[in-house]
A = this chain, B = another copy of it.
Amino acid sequence: MPERKGRPNLGPAAADQNRSALVSAARRIYARHGHEVPFNTIAKEAGVGQGSLYRHFPNRIALAMAVFEENFLELEELAREHAADPRCFELVFARLVRQCVDSLGFIGIIASAGRDFPLDATIGRLAAVLTGPLDRAQREGLLRDTLTIDDLLLILRMLYGTLSHGVPGDAGPTVLAQRVLDLVGLPVRVADPPPG
């Protein structure tokens, strides 16, 4: 007489559903409570057993990587689509900032992983998406010539660092991000968050 109570066991069929439920639960939870919530909070929010969480993502880093993968794909596609557009840089960077704002928790996981996580590949991939658009923007005279990829990476880090420490009376993260970009003199307009 199995399955007496609790969530029904839907069997293997539910695997994919569970996986995405976990990712979006993580987005919600991390946005609300930061990345230091007990790991199984996410399982609960996703309506999934704790074992399933561990099966899909053996640790927090794996979860973050999954989100980054989505983010990268989106970014790379955007860059490809607008390769010919002189304003490509602004488009891509604005989207990147948007992602950064939306994925604070996942970045936080990586940030606090320290040497447990080799950052090089991720940074390389980020540099790769940005290089083309940056060059182009500089050739068009839309961006000062002295700005390097490393500067952009540092700016991203500043952005994350600034946003990651919420303060009671803060302006919303979008507004704050815009102020940061303005202060470093980057002519990029942060888009509003997607509705929902």
Contact = CB atoms under 8 A, between A and B. Distances in A.
- Chain A contact surface mostly: helix
B167 A154 contact: no
A58 interface: no
B158 A165 contact: no
B158 A154 contact: no
23 contacts: A111-B165, A111-B167, A112-B165, A114-B166, A114-B168, A119-B167, A151-B183, A154-B162, A154-B183, A155-B183, A157-B165, A158-B158, A158-B180, A158-B183, A160-B161, A160-B165, A161-B162, A161-B163, A161-B165, A162-B162, A164-B165, A183-B184, A185-B185
B165 A180 contact: no
A55 interface: no
A168 B123 CA distance: 13
Interface residues of A, number: 25
A44 interface: no
Interface of A: 111-112, 114-115, 119, 151, 154-155, 157-158, 160-168, 176, 179-180, 183-185
4 A-B pairs closest in CB distance: A161-B161, A111-B165, A161-B162, A158-B158
A13 to B, nearest CB: 11
Nearest to A167: B119
Contacts of A176: 154
Residue among A155, A165, A166, A179 facing the most chain B CB atoms (10 A cut-off): A165
Nearest to A117: B168
